[in-house]
Amino acid sequence: MIGNMARVESQKNPQLFNNIAHKAYSDRKDIAFIWIGDGSLKNKVQQNSSDNTYFLNFSEKNSNYLSEFDGYISTSDYEGLPYSPLEALQEGIPVLLSDVVGHDEIVEDGVNGKLYNPDNILVNIQELYDFIDWSKTSDKQAIKKSVTDIMIINCYIKQFNRAK
Per residue of the chain (164 residues), give pLDDT as tens. Answer: 999 999 999 999 999 999 999 999 999 999 999 999 999 999 999 999 999 999 999 988 877 889 999 999 999 999 988 999 999 999 999 999 999 999 998 999 999 999 999 999 999 999 999 999 999 999 999 999 888 877 666 655 666 677 76
Please tell me the distance from the alpha carbon of residue 123 to that of residue 2, in angstroms, as a whole number.
19
Any idea what DSSP says for residue 33? E
Are 125 and 131 a contacting pair, CB within 8 Å? no
- Cα dihedral 34, 35, 41, 42 sign: positive
